[in-house]
Structures are given as C-alpha cells and as structure tokens.
Amino acid sequence: MNLGGSLNNSSGGGLGGATIVADIPFSNNMAAAGAMAQNIYNSPGLSLALQPSIGNQGDGVRMGENFEASIGRRSREEEHESRSGSDNIDGVSGDDQDAANNRPRKKRYHRHTPQQIQELEALFKECPHPDEKQRLELSKRLCLETRQVKFWFQNRRTQMKTQLERHENSLLRQENDKLRAENMSIREAMRNPICTNCGGLAIIGDLSLEEEHLRIENARLKDELDRVCALASKFLGRPLSSLATSIAPPLPNSNLELGVGSNGFGGLSTTLPLGPDFGGGVSNSLPVVPPNGVERSMFLELALAAMDELVKMSQTDEPLWIRSLEVGREILNHDEYSRMFTPCIGIKPAGFLTEASRQTGVVIINSLALVETLMDSNRWAEMFPCMIARTSTTDVISSGMGGTRNGAIQLMHAELQLLSPLVPVREVNFLRFCKQHAEGVWAVVDVSIDTLRETSGAPTTYVKCRRLPSGCVVQDMPNGYSKVTWVEHVEYDESQIHHLYRPLLSSGIGFGAQRWVAALRRQCECLAILMSSTVPTGDHTAITASGRRSMLKLAQRMTGNFCAGVCASTVHKWNKLNAGNVDEDVRVMTRKSVDNPGEPPGIVLSAATSVWLPVSPQRLFDFLRDERLRSEWDILSNGGPMQEIAHIAKGQDHGNCVSLLRSSAMNANQSSMLILQETCMDAGGSLVVYAPVDIPAMQVVMSGGDSAYVALLPSGFAIIPDGPGSPGPTTSNGNGDSHRVGGSLLTVAFQILVNSLPTAKLTVESVETVNNLISCTVQKIKAALQCES
C-alpha cells in the first residue's frame, strides 16, 4: 500500500497562490500601496514569496508581459532611486506617525539574500514539492521561517507555470500569424490569378475547376466543423454558436480570425488550462507529441460514447446483468449488450475472450477525493498498489471546467497485474474521462484508444488487451462515505496465460470489479485509521507518530518491490533465465542493483511460482502470517519461535497490519534478527510480504528517521481464491450430486542477493539454490496444512 499525501504534510502546489494572497494584508491607501509595490518589485534579491499570485491565466500572462516591458524601459536613475527606499515597509515618516498608529500594522517583508535564493533554487531543481521535513531543515539552514520557505516554493511553482503558459501562448501566436499570412497570400493570389503557362493574367474561366475543388473542400470542412461544434456543445453543456461562424469566409473589410487552439476545436479556445497540482509529489507524466485536431475530436466523441455506456451498464439490471446463484455474482448478458450498445472501439479481434463484471460497495471516502485520486496517475497507483504495476499520464486533452475535474479528459498508459508469474502484465493505452452528473454524483470512465491510433495512422504495437468502457460511478453518502458502482469490461488474448489461471480470468474474478472495490475499501479504511489521532487497539504506543509513518513508508516500498518482482513489470529491468535445472512453472529472473540506497548492491535473483492448494484462502493466510507457526515453513526463523515486537494496524481486521518480528537465537553462535512484515487481506485476495532488516537501521526508522536508506529485498506470498473450473477435486453426497472443493492459488516469491558485485557472473549453483528454496517452502506448507495429495 502507499500512503501518499497522508504521510507527508506538504501542501499541494496548486493552491499556493491563494494562500499567499490571503496572508498579505490589503491597504486602503491605494497610493501607498502603489508606491510599496514599486519598491518591492524593483528589488533584485526579493523573495519569490512576495510576487503577486496569478489568479487568472490570461491576466497573468498579460501582467507578466507588461511587467517585463516596464523593467526594460526603466532607466538606471529610476532603478537607483527605487533601490534607495527602505526595505522595512513598516517604517513611516515622522509626519505620518500618528496616522500610522491608527491603521493596522502592516506586515514586515523580508528581503532574501543571494545565498538564500541560491540555496532555494538548488533545492527547487531537485524537488519542487519538498515535504515538511525538507522545509524545516532548509529553514534552519537559511535562518528563515518554515512559512517563508513554504511560500517561496509555492510562488516559484506558480512562476514556472506562468512562464510555461507564456511560452505556449507565444508559439500559438506565431502559428496564428503564420496561418494568417498564408491566408492573406491565398486571397491575394485569388484576386490576381496568374496563368501558369504564359505568366499573364488568367481568365476567370480557367480557374473554374480549381474553384470547384475549393468549394467541395470548403463544404467538407464546414460539415466537420458542425460535427465538432455539436460534440463540444454536448460536452460543455452550452451552445457554441460563435464557433460555427469563426471559419466562415471573411468579408472584404473584416479582420481574419483563425482558431489555432491546441485543442483542435478551432476558435473554441487558444489554449487548454493546465490542471492544478493535486498530488503531493512530482508527476511522472511522459512528454509526448500532442494529438492533432482530428484526433482530439475523435477522442471527445469516444469519451462521450464511453461515458454513456458506462452509466447505462452501472444502472441497468436484468436482462443486461443476470445474477447467477451458482457463482454468487452478476453475469453480463452478451446478447442483450450487443442489442443495447454499438461497439465504440470496433469489433472484438479474432481469438480474444471477453470478461465483464459489476460490483457495488460503500467506501469511507467522499466523491471529490476519489475523483481526484483516479484522475492523478500517481495517486491512482498508490490507491491500488497490488493491481497497478506502473502508470503515467501521456497527454491531457482537457483539465476540466471551473477549477474542477468535470469534463477532464486525459490519455494514460498503465500496466495492470495479477500477482503470479503465470499471468503476464496487461499493458493498456486508454482515455480517461471524468464527468459530474449531479450534485455529489461523479463518473470516471476508461476506454482503449489503440483502435483510434490505428485509424489515424499513428504507430501502434500488437494489443493483447482492450479496455471497453469501464470505470465507476460515485455517489456521496452521509458521514463522508460514498457508494461506488464499478464496472470492468475487457477483451484479451489468453494464449500466454497459464491454464491454471484461465478460469479465474474468464470468470471476471482475476481483474474484475470485485477486486477493485475490495482493494479500494481496504485502502480507504487504512487511510482513515492513519489520519485518526487515536492509536488503534493493539498498536504499540511506544512508537511515535513519526516512527509509524517511517515504518509504513518502508513497508510500502517493500510491498511495491515484491509485486514488481513477481510480475516482472517494467519498474525494474529484469532478465529472464532459461535454466534447464529449474522447475517448469518456476520463473527465475536476475537484475543488477547499482546506486540504489534502498537495496544492497550486487546481483539480485528473483524466483516465483504459483500452485493450487485445496485450502481456503482464509486458513492459508492465517497460517502464513502467524509468527508462532513461522518456523514450520521459514528457514530464516532458525527453527525457533518468532516474537512480534511492533505492530501497526492498517484496518479493522487484525490481519491488515505492519509488524516487526524478532527471531530468538537458538545458540550462542547465532545472532537475533529482525523481520519487517506487511499483511493485508480483502475479498479479492491476501498478501504476506516480509524482508530481513538491519537492527540499527530499524531503530532509526522507529525513531522517525528516513526509511529510504534501509536496504532490503522482499519475499512473500500472494493468495487469491480459485475460480470456477479450477483443478480442484470433487466430492459427492449420498444423492449422487457432486460439487467442486474450493481452494486457493498460492504464489511464492523470493528475491535474494547472490553476489555483492554487480559485475559478477551468475552461477548455476545460485539458480539451483533459489529453485530448491521455493520447492522446499511449498512442500513444507503442504505438509503443515496436510494437503500433500
């Protein structure tokens, strides 16, 4: 799990300007305020925190341009005169002393020294969003208040955003001027036609064919514009009558207005607003070439169709969704689906299978917070760490309207995972569209865009998974809860999926809506507990609040690395080994660990396998997480008992926690060891992840120190319920009826440092050792649970 912004107390960057404006008192004396502003802005070493907040993007650009122009025109004498004023704004003349006493005391402004600005700029380049600890350390080093450092970073981010918008506007103006000049040239050429054969004036009749072609092209462009206007009107909820006339041929004396907006809607707007920074960290969005106007209109049309389909699928019951008593969940009626909807991304590819599921649940999060989480790629991955291996936002078509996410459209890439080496990672490129349907009712829909990329001629790769309109409808409930209806609808190629997992995926359980809702409920419950001021029952009160945060961050990193090793996602660069002495269903990979303070340097070997066990998931989970039974399967326990010395609850269920275990030394030659362990369980499955940790390092972490420098390599287990059709035995009753015995799909994975030199060669003995470790662990688990057969 990832705790994201709940563990860091840093404020978001998007609201910094408003905070500063609220902090600076407003003077009723406008003349004095103007003189004060002149002195402030003429100061070269002044803190960025004193620059005015940009409230409106267009006004901010004009203000920035006028300000730069005024600086360029200022003479040296005026500059010298402006610098001669007092830095202390509180100072007043003797004549004004009495009047000043009757007015509220103005705030004293601080002039940063060049050394302070240099230090602040250096940290800003490395981390534009410093956390509270970094700001506190920087304020002490620079002899500033933490509030001053916080305001400086907020306004520095605002300044950078303004500069970016100014640069984009400049490019758009250049492109507009270029198109205007081309248009004028064409109009001039049409007024004075030249014959291409003789070079003289052409007769009007010679251009009839060309004029006819232009008329046809003009009619086609008008039809395309009308279609885009209709889509935009439906999207924005208001008519765009002015847009339809912006491309009409100009009158002889009228000004030529060309819509050269980057959104592809012509005169709709010249730029798209940049979305506010809602996350607490640096975004990992990938810079890509933005889609052209035709692509953007196609994306808008696709988003509206996908949203309409998602809402209908979430609200319609029978005959679209039929509840199956056999499996205890809803099943999509594909015939009724084909009758109700037209495929918005084309027909299903040959050989692909379809999985569909719907789930409704109540979670402890309000609709606005959940929408912000889903629309931010970093926070989305943090909310579903066991399901999302990696994600990024590749392009923002629209950041929303009125400062909200209503109408936001963005293109995203994601790697979705099921924790097993026998199921490949699903890579999807999709469009995500957010819309507010009513007060407190939001919907977020995903739909693949690979078909549109093929239609537009963009380069594509072979698609193994297509995401049909999927997502969730969120409705606010009392006391901060929300009702979430989740729909998952996917087409995929199962040729590379192991037969053990095919029934699980085809039934919609593996990547289905139930798993998303269960993970969301568990994560929201965890965040609610961590944000509470009371310590949950069972937690060790000796651990400070900062120590709890550090331990949870360390456990979060441990679990993330475990998932990346099991699924071989692109988080790390793994090299798969094809060794003849390794079992068929065991996947062995290797990678080099270099310059990573969170891992020991050298050659890391990862081995993982999945097996079916005739044991319920709950019983298997309780056995593996119990420190008293650990010696029955863990060779690291030295054959002795384990003792829990620290416990941090992450949910109402006692199994959702982070704990620190200590193994007792069996003899004088053995030393005690600490094991960090995270366990979690919900309706979609369970997880037991652990790693040996250094005792001095953990003492620093439990005292609230930085956990990023604790080196660890995780191992553990992932447990999911098996689906219908899994290879379980059947039992029969006296009437001759038979039913299948339910079981669990258990994934065992180890990451081991086989050599401390990154340049060393991997030996056959190392591969055999890790293969024997996995086989021995599986056999011990089967023996302990009495399921060898």
Calculate the CA 164 to chain-centre distance: 22
Please check whether residue 280 lies inside any domain of the structure. Answer: no
Closest CA to 432 of 534, 310, 322: 310
Please check whether residue 46 lies inside any domain of the structure. Answer: no
Please check whether residue 224 lies inside any domain of the structure. Answer: no
Q: What is the gyration radius of the CA atoms in the chain, in angstroms?
A: 32
Domain boundary among 165, 198, 228: 165
Please check whether residue 660 lies inside any domain of the structure. Answer: yes
d(CA 439, CA 525): 24
* Residue range of the domain that includes 145: 116-165
Q: Which residues make Cβ contacts (< 8 Å) with residue 350, sequence separation at least 6? A: none
Q: Which two tokens mark 308?
A: 């309409």
Residue 6 is given by DSSP the state G
**524/558 same-domain check:** no
Is residue 218 a contact partner of residue 232, using CB atoms and an 8 Å limit?
A: no
Please check whether residue 563 lies inside any domain of the structure. Answer: yes
Domain boundary among 131, 165, 199: 165
Q: What is the pLDDT of residue 99?
A: 44
Q: Which two tokens mark 560?
A: 């993330």
- The number of beta carbons lying within 10 Å of the beta carbon of residue 449 is 27
Please check whether residue 553 lies inside any domain of the structure. Answer: yes
**551/520 same-domain check:** no
- Which residue type does 355 have? E
Is residue 377 a contact partner of residue 392, using CB atoms and an 8 Å limit?
A: yes
Residue with tokens 């692509």: 295
d(CA 758, CA 765): 17
d(CA 651, CA 480): 17
**521/560 same-domain check:** no
Closest CA to 139 of 123, 159, 158: 123
Q: Which two tokens mark 191?
A: 């007024």
**500/582 same-domain check:** no
C-alpha distances in angstroms, 26 versus 67, 129, 679?
21, 28, 54
**586/491 same-domain check:** no
d(CA 207, CA 716): 78
Please check whether residue 49 lies inside any domain of the structure. Answer: no
* pTM for this predicted structure: 0.62
**630/674 same-domain check:** yes
Please check whether residue 629 lies inside any domain of the structure. Answer: yes
**362/499 same-domain check:** yes
**493/605 same-domain check:** no
C-alpha distances in angstroms, 566 versus 78, 570, 600, 610, 611?
67, 12, 19, 10, 14
Residue 111 is given by DSSP the state -
**604/488 same-domain check:** no
Here the CATH number for the domain that contains residue 121 is 1.10.10.60
Is residue 464 a contact partner of residue 450, using CB atoms and an 8 Å limit?
A: no
- The number of beta carbons lying within 10 Å of the beta carbon of residue 701 is 25
C-alpha distances in angstroms, 605 versus 277, 485, 566, 677, 731?
38, 41, 12, 20, 41
**702/669 same-domain check:** yes
Q: Which two tokens mark 464?
A: 């193994």
Residue with tokens 């341009």: 65
- The number of beta carbons lying within 10 Å of the beta carbon of residue 441 is 16
Angle of CA points 473, 477, 478, to nearest 5° = 165
Q: What is the pLDDT of residue 59?
A: 44
Q: What is the pLDDT of residue 98?
A: 47
> What order of strands is seen across the sheet that includes strand 642-649?
575-577, 587-593, 602-613, 744-755, 715-721, 685-693, 673-682, 657-663, 642-649
Q: What is the pLDDT of residue 412?
A: 94
d(CA 220, CA 638): 78
10-residue averages of pLDDT along the chain (789 residues): 40 38 38 40 37 41 41 40 37 43 58 86 87 88 88 90 90 89 82 67 55 76 77 60 41 32 32 32 36 74 92 92 80 92 86 92 93 94 91 90 89 93 91 93 93 58 85 92 94 89 85 92 87 63 81 92 84 74 80 83 89 92 91 77 86 87 65 84 92 89 88 93 65 51 87 84 83 89 82
Q: What is the pLDDT of residue 341?
A: 92
Here the CATH number for the domain that contains residue 747 is 3.30.530.20
Q: What is the pLDDT of residue 458?
A: 52
Q: Is 462 helix (H, G, I), strand (E, B) or coil?
A: coil
The H or E element spanning position 358 is strand 353-363
d(CA 700, CA 706): 8
Q: Which two tokens mark 72?
A: 């360029």
Domain boundary among 528, 554, 578: 528
d(CA 757, CA 72): 58
Number of domains making up the chain: 3
Q: What is the pLDDT of residue 453?
A: 60
d(CA 750, CA 717): 9
**566/478 same-domain check:** no
C-alpha distances in angstroms, 453 versus 250, 342, 411, 458?
35, 19, 12, 5
Is residue 513 a contact partner of residue 330, using CB atoms and an 8 Å limit?
A: no
Residue 436 is given by DSSP the state E
**331/365 same-domain check:** yes
